[in-house]
Amino acid sequence: MNEYLLLVLFFLIALFYSSIGFGGGSSYLAILSLILADFYEIRTLALVMNIAVVSIGTSYYIRRRIFDWKAFWPFVLVSIPLAFLGARLQLSEGTFFILLGVALILAAFALIFQNLNRNVINSTLNLSKRITLGGSIGFLSGLVGIGGGIFLSPTLNLIGWKDAKTIAALASVFILANSLAGVAGLIVAQTFELNFLFAGKIILAVILGGLIGSNFSVKMNLKWIRSLTALLVLYVGTRIVLQHGFGVSI
């Protein structure tokens, strides 16, 4: 893929995802899996880009006092150590790509379901459910190299846990916490692989996209963006599962 096209693509992903509190990890993974062969590098770079983007978003939500620690802490209490544990697991290449493919397919359906948001607000979600939901998503996040917001946010929107801004703020904090824990797990497991010559420009591109998306209102049809992203992620996830699980190339 042309270098400049790649940079523009990552910039746009960060721009749109950051405008709704996401880091873009699922789309980063989808694209990186098409252009990189080293699965450790794929997982590392996706987490680093997540951290770069959602750090900006988290700062934005804190400055505007949308951040609500009392409501958020149960989601990250268990997700952080489980994301760390998931990242420490040294998977075989085949196992990693199958898990990645399945995670991408699930992420695609999560985006589709989010478009079906019923706009119900303030549904009850007790403490144990918040801890369980956060922990399970955190472990998956560490395994494949995503922040987990793409699973958490649609779930909370569909059940109407809080308003959209509060959920976006939670997603941003959740992704940042899990991504940092994931990177720590990779470092401890000595599987942190980053080619700075390749990654440097891409990281700068997503930082720029994250700055614009987090601090300015991006006037786009979010359902349209989610639908296109879901198609991309679903295609790549299916392709990975077929190739690495069944030896079928498409």
Q: pLDDT per residue over 5-31, tens digit each?
A: 999 999 999 998 888 778 888 889 989
Task: Measure the CA–CA gap between 142 and 159, rounded to whole angstroms.
Answer: 25
Residue 76: the pLDDT is 95
Residue 120: the pLDDT is 56
Whether 63 and 94 have beta carbons less than 8 Å apart is answered as no
Whether 79 and 178 have beta carbons less than 8 Å apart is answered as yes
Share of the chain above pLDDT 90, in %: 54
Domain boundary assignment for the chain: 3-246
In angstroms, the Cα distances linking 149 to 6, 32, 103, 156, 178 are 23, 19, 12, 10, 9
**Residue pointed to by tokens 């939901």:** 133
The pTM (predicted TM-score) of the whole model is 0.91
Half-sphere exposure of 147 toward its Cβ, with a 13 Å CA cutoff?
33
Cβ atoms within 10 Å of 165's Cβ, excluding its own: 13
Give per-residue pLDDT as tens, 145-187.
989 998 898 888 888 888 888 888 899 999 999 999 999 999 9
- Helices and strands, counts by H and E, the chain: 10, 0
Task: Measure the CA–CA gap between 107 and 88, rounded to whole angstroms.
Answer: 22
